[in-house]
Structure 1
Amino acid sequence: MSEMTLHQPTTAAALDTQMQFAKAVTASGGSILPKAYQGNPGNALIAINLGSSMGLAPAESLYRIDVIQGTPTASAELVASNVRKAGHKLRVRVDEQAQSVTAEIIRADDPDYTYSVTRDMKWAQGMGLASKDNYKKQPMTMLQWRAITAVARLAASEALYGVGYTADEIREMPAPQQAQTVTADQFVPAEPAQEPDGPETGEAPSEHQRKKMFASLRDIGLTERDDILEYVSNLTGRTVESSNDLTRAEVSTIIDSLEGDTPNA
């Protein structure tokens, strides 16, 4: 089993060197850099540091990591590479006749369990993506990318260094100023509060649990209803159309997973 490379903390001298490099390449006025970095050494410095944690050289970081709507993104190939570099098994099965792609991850530390995510054109239609040019011209490629990044976020988030979305995924999300934050009151009809403690059974989750779940979802950047439903469906292994469908035990599991994904948790 391969091991992830441990990177030493960036020293002040190394940071100064990186900043000088970032200023030099972004001030050149050349158009070979992605637009997010042209004249913006701050963005370049962030990408360089993210790339360094992945084992990428500074110049390679600027081409393999892009910034869309203020969010660092990576290609599906880089996401897949990081998952495999971490020692996990990633397998992708493509069914062109059914227009379906299934991506599976078997973690190195849990070889007896397979994480699986399937993306097909029915899913794309439900998400409002099927009419977009990319899905019309290269549907299997788009479904493959979506399946890979979705299963990677679900099964191996620690291997993504916070860069687990492709540029296409970010572009398809509402702009920050247009996005509507989903709160527990908006997403779940109000119910009488229940005690947060007690046996984890099939009972409905308490108000305390629901609020904690949504707060943790916001901490990892999930505020859109469709993204939340996709996330909890992947975790529970079934299609969740409303948080009313979740049991007390499932919400507890989701909270545990979210706390593991939250920075500095």
Structure 2
Amino acid sequence: MMETLPTQQNNTQSQLTPFADVQSFESAQRMAKALATSDLVPKQFSGNLGNTLLALEMSNRLNMPVFSVMQNLYVIHGKPSFSASFMIALVNASKRFDTPLLFEYNEERTSCYAYAMQGENKIKGSTVTMQMAQQEGWLSKNGSKWKTMPELMLMYRAGTFFARAYVPDLLMGMKSQEEVLDIEAEVVDDSSSSDLDDMILPPVED
């Protein structure tokens, strides 16, 4: 399912900053309580006021709708992480480049890098290869999508590398869900669906 995020807004006066002062915190608690009682929010926020407050804070920092943040925020090994597709969407929504992220594969479709144009300059991210995936042990993980969806995983990892290199402030130091699952073998709490079919598919160039 294709998904896009609204463009980030420069005017943040209407954004709620939960931890700015006592009044803001009280307002945020009321909003978080309403969100946490909804059947539409992911499991890690349902009935969890603390997690929902943190989602509101992230929404404020990113200038993104809170529901978009909640739908793309995963708790793995007790740590929050964004989906790789959401990181790519953050880059595109930031409008910091003249084009959205594009992806270029080699002829064998075994390597990929992300890039964006800034005027006539091609801003390139690091190249990700299947050899790298093999050497890093990503292919050997139980249920690894690298075995069944290698081209998609190359795209997601290349987009993550680009975002970390050129817009680290948008990531707030967090890893992608896919990176955490590749690095760590045991998932403590991945209460949202990990199906890649529902993630954002950005433009690709051969």
Q: Which band: TM-score by shorter chain?
A: 0.5 to 0.7
**For residues 65 and 35 of structure 1, what CA distance do their matches in structure 2 show?**
11
Whichever residue aligns with residue 149 of structure 1, its letter is T
**For residues 27 and 46 of structure 1, what CA distance do their matches in structure 2 show?**
16
Normalised TM-score (structure 2): 0.67
The residue number in structure 1 matching 2:64 is: 56
Of Structure 1 and Structure 2, the greater helix share is in: 1
Is the Cα–Cα contact under 8 Å of residues 8 and 63 in structure 2 kept in the other structure? no
Whichever residue aligns with residue 173 of structure 1, its letter is I
User: What SS does structure 1 have at the residue aligned with 2:127?
Assistant: strand
The residue number in structure 2 matching 1:263 is: none
**For residues 27 and 105 of structure 2, what CA distance do their matches in structure 1 show?**
44
- Equivalent of 2:168, from 137, 145, 157? 157
The residue number in structure 2 matching 1:7 is: 12
Whichever residue aligns with residue 56 of structure 1, its letter is M
**For residues 103 and 139 of structure 1, what CA distance do their matches in structure 2 show?**
15
Is the Cα–Cα contact under 8 Å of residues 125 and 161 in structure 2 kept in the other structure? no
Whichever residue aligns with residue 166 of structure 2, its letter is A
Q: Work out whether 1:25 is the aligned partner of 2:30.
A: no
User: What SS does structure 1 have at the residue aligned with 2:165?
Assistant: helix
Q: Which runs of 5+ in 2 are unaligned?
A: 1-6, 186-206
Looking at both structures, which has the greater relative contact order when contacts are Cα pairs under 8 Å and sequence separation is at least 6?
2
Q: Which runs of 5+ in 1 are unaligned?
A: 176-265
Structure 1 residues 74 and 3, CA gap change in structure 2 (3 angstroms): closer
CA deviation vs aligned residue, 1:110-160 (integer Å, no higher than 9, x gap)? x75733211121010011012343111111111111110012101221233
1:34 to partner: Cα distance: 2.6
- Equivalent of 1:16, from 5, 26, 33? 26
The residue number in structure 1 matching 2:158 is: 147
Is the Cα–Cα contact under 8 Å of residues 112 and 155 in structure 2 kept in the other structure? yes
- Equivalent of 2:129, from 102, 114, 120? 120
Structure 1 residues 25 and 112, CA gap change in structure 2 (3 angstroms): closer
**For residues 171 and 177 of structure 2, what CA distance do their matches in structure 1 show?**
15
Structure 1 residues 6 and 123, CA gap change in structure 2 (3 angstroms): farther
Whichever residue aligns with residue 156 of structure 1, its letter is V
1:100-115 pair list within 5 angstroms: 100-105=111-116, 112=121, 114-115=123-124
CA deviation vs aligned residue, 1:208-247 (integer Å, no higher than 9, x gap)? xxxxxxxxxxxxxxxxxxxxxxxxxxxxxxxxxxxxxxxx
1:96 to partner: Cα distance: 6.6
Q: Which of 1 and 2 has greater Rg? A: 1
1:69 to partner: Cα distance: 2.5
- Equivalent of 2:110, from 95, 99, 102? 99
- Pairwise CA RMSD of aligned residues? 3.1
Is the Cα–Cα contact under 8 Å of residues 101 and 143 in structure 1 kept in the other structure? yes
Structure 1 residues 34 and 69, CA gap change in structure 2 (3 angstroms): farther
Normalised TM-score (structure 1): 0.54
- Number of aligned residue pairs: give it: 170
User: What SS does structure 1 have at the residue aligned with 2:126?
Assistant: strand
